[in-house]
Amino acid sequence: MLQTCALSLLVFTGASQFALVGALAAGGGPVAAAAGAFFLGVRNAFYGLRLSQVLALSRVARPFAAQWVIDETTAVSLAQPTRRAARLGFLVTGVSLYVLWNLTTLLGALGAEAIGDTDAWGLDAAGPAVFLALLAPMLKSVTERAVASLAVLLGLGLLPVLPAGVPVLVAALAAPLALFVEGRRGGRARGDAPRP
């Protein structure tokens, strides 16, 4: 229970937590599990770059605010019409989600025994299903769909042959590969001469 609560307190990003725990539960090594969780959390760094401009927080406040840079706080902040409203949205969303996430983590850890076998309930599929439901509407261009499809193929295809946690890392290669192919195709479409 202590490990579960500490993970939620320190790693406040659901996708990374689910990736870490899922890889460890499947028998993956701690390094591969942590690396997969890290790469899923990297997107928050990009959110932070954008939010630093929108929120314009003081140097003292930035390290504390960084803990709450997640999908939801970013979406709420960016939807606001003024800097003041963006800061308020960030604060309210961050505080409420952080408190509720950690409270429900504690309740879940205390009551996990009462649920019984989570595989029988299908709860192991809930996290990935929610993630896909959030991701699907964002895939608007052909390149974005290609990256997502290639990542799924790599991840699922390598699942039976690689240790737990490693297929997620390999699936991350879908983005640079698709961007490379698109760049090559774009160069040919413009009639650029190939470089020697």
pLDDT at 196 exceeding the cut of 80: no
The stretch 141-146 carries a mean pLDDT of 86
Residue that has been written with the tokens 């490990």 in this structure: 3
**3-state secondary structure (DSSP) of residue 159:** coil
DSSP state of 194: P
More confident position, 86 or 15: 86
- Give per-residue pLDDT as tens, 112-128: 777 777 667 766 666 66
Q: Which residues contact 163 (CB under 8 A, 6 or more apart)?
A: 27, 28, 29, 32
**Mean local confidence (pLDDT), 124-150:** 78
Region 162-182 average pLDDT: 82
| pLDDT band for position 192 (cuts 50, 70, 90) | low
Cβ count near 40 (within 10 Å): 20
Closest to 12 measured CA to CA, from 82, 77, 74, 66 = 66
Exposed / middle / buried, residue 158 (Cβ in 10 Å: 0-12, 13-18, 19+) = middle
* Whole-prediction pTM: 0.63
Q: What is the pLDDT of residues 72-113, one digit of tens each?
A: 999 999 999 999 999 999 999 999 999 999 999 999 888 877
